[in-house]
Amino acid sequence: MRRTAVYGKPLRTPMPRLLKSGLIALTVLLAGILAARAGLSAYLQARAALRQSAHTQTLAAHPLSYREPIERYAADQNLQPAFIAAVIMAESSYRKDARSGADARGLMQIKPDTGRWIAEKLGENDSFTPERLYDPETNIRYGAWYLGYLSRLFLGDPVWVTAAYHAGQTTVMNWIAAGMSGYEAIPDGPTKNYVRRVTTAYGIYERLYFAPPTEIGAVASQP
């Protein structure tokens, strides 16, 4: 016989306690899943924002100008364009009118006597003047030639090529003759700091602007 209330309305059958507990647990679980998904989405968005911010900062700290002559003269000297870009960044921060206390000039900070020596090697001694080193095209062409010369001299080793560009080839040849090998062997000081800056920037410029090199870390591909 169906149970009825005093006023003739049907009485509600109480929900079984186990079923009620199960529904509560399911509700809590679903709420937890939704909260976790929202938290994961927020985390991923924050991570993406951080990556974008880091990328933007890296681009700002490693600008690239004069890409066309950099790539052209890198190809002429069998060099990686990212390496030339890194040297320019370390030398002048892409300021074509830069001039050091030692009278090094232009993008790649070439001294007049070095510039004249390079001009002689290129058969341009008659037309050379120190003021030409402020011309970006000439400066990159001369600097790339000199890096190519050092690369052939030191068999494409990026550490020795970079060190020689800063300290001079004679200094590096003396280090090698004394049995020194690799970055860690370079005496602490400006040249070691310079090598660290250039080789670090080299990797960054390669990643940001240029295709991966055929041989990771190689300044030049030897024939």
- Res 208: pLDDT: 94
- Res 32: pLDDT: 82
Whether residue 189 is predicted with pLDDT greater than 90 in this model: the reply is yes
Mean pLDDT of the chain: 87
Specify burial of residue 196 (Cβ count, 10 A radius: 0-12, 13-18, 19+).
middle
Task: Tell me how crowded residue 179 is: count the other CB atoms within 10 A of its CB.
Answer: 7
Crossing angle of the two packed helices 169-177 and 158-167, in degrees rounded to 10: 130
What average pLDDT does the segment 106-129 reach?
97
Whether residue 137 is predicted with pLDDT greater than 70 in this model: the reply is yes
- Res 30: pLDDT: 84
- Res 54: pLDDT: 66
Quick: pLDDT tens for 196-209: 999 999 999 999 99
Per-domain boundaries in the chain: 15-61, 67-209
What average pLDDT does the segment 132-161 reach?
97
CA gap 116, 119 in Å, rounded: 5
Backbone angles phi, psi at 107, to 5 degrees: -55, -45
Whether residue 143 is predicted with pLDDT greater than 90 in this model: the reply is yes
Inter-residue contact 7 to 14 (CB < 8 Å): no
Show the CA angle centred on residue 41, arms to residues 38 and 43, nearest 5°: 110
Band (pLDDT 50/70/90 cuts) for residue 223 is: very low
The domain 67-209 having CATH identifier 1.10.630.10: the answer here is no
Which has the minimum average pLDDT: 4-13, 19-28, 64-73, 154-163?
Answer: 4-13
Q: Tell me the two tokens of residue 24.
A: 């509560």
The residue with tokens 């052209």 is 72
